[in-house]
A = this chain, B = another copy of it.
Amino acid sequence: MTDAMPGKSASMMIVRAIKELRALLSAQRSAGKTIGLVPTMGFFHDGHLTLMRRCRERDGVVVVSLFVNRTQFGPGEDYQEYPRDFERDTRMAQAEGVDLLFAPTEHEMYPAGDATFIEVAGDLTARLCGAYRPAHFRGVATVVTKLFSIVEPDRAYFGEKDYQQLLVVRRLVRDLAIPVEIIAVPTVREPDGLAMSSRNSRLGPRERQAATVLYRSLLKAQALVRGGIRDASQIVAQVRDSIAQEPLVRLQYAELADPETLAPVERVAGPALLALAAHVGGIRLIDNIIIGG
């Protein structure tokens, strides 16, 4: 089933069914075009649009998937409240030259009796966000693997804002020998440094202002490292102290980890991931930078 684009020249197709998507992509593949995939949960911002542009530069067909994936939300998390605006998303994607917007139904992605999931074991899913969202990366790994089966992309584009997700996807692609190249795209930030996130739209004005402390705390930690401090506990303490000064922000974790394995880092001797998660008002935000590189 295909929806026409209201009031636009219909250069972008909106596809709901796997079968139709496959038929369209098969024709494009036969014509020698490479296929790029940008997996999203919608409510697009400049981070998503940057992924679409990177994809548009390299691939013959740009496929954007839009699916708010219930299985990566835990009980009590914001699946219901996650922002959605399909009309706006379709306009934005079309303006970026997206060829196919794949917006499957729940049933198309999780047919009745669905019982299969993908698990990436170990530090990659147990640490950082995985410690606080126990089934999150299982849900991510499962939906991403399904999307790869459905789209069979040559390349798939992921933002570094979700750094841990990027590592999990890289690992499952390697372990399962999925023939797709994963392209990491740097975090896109607001002018005041806040990492772009669909969830930012849910912040009130005071929370939106308070949220800027997250990136500022990362930059202060980076300055410490550049000043010669190598001890992880000192660096993390700097992040904690910065954030403690902002009463609207409650830090969930700030950790230094190996940027490949996510193993804990005691002392910064090379590139290290500094990652954090915090609640701003009721909204959970994440951010990260690589320091010591």
Contact = CB atoms under 8 A, between A and B. Distances in A.
A22 B149 contact: no
A59 B105 CA distance: 33
A145 B115 contact: no
A149 B177 contact: yes
Nearest to A261: B113
Looking at A110, A171, A175, the one whose CB has the most chain B CB atoms below 10 A away is A175
Interface stretch (A117-125, A186-194, A285-293): A117-125
A151 to B, nearest CB: 10
A116 B171 contact: yes
Interface residues of A, number: 30
A117 B111 contact: no
A119 B142 CA distance: 10
A111 B115 CA distance: 26
Interface in A137-155: 141, 145-146, 149-150, 152
Which label, helix, strand, loop or mixed, suits the secondary structure of the A interface? mixed
A117 B176 CA distance: 8
A87 interface: no
Interface in A170-186: 171-172, 174-179
Contacts of A118: 116-119
B116 A120 contact: yes
B124 A149 contact: no
A114 interface: yes
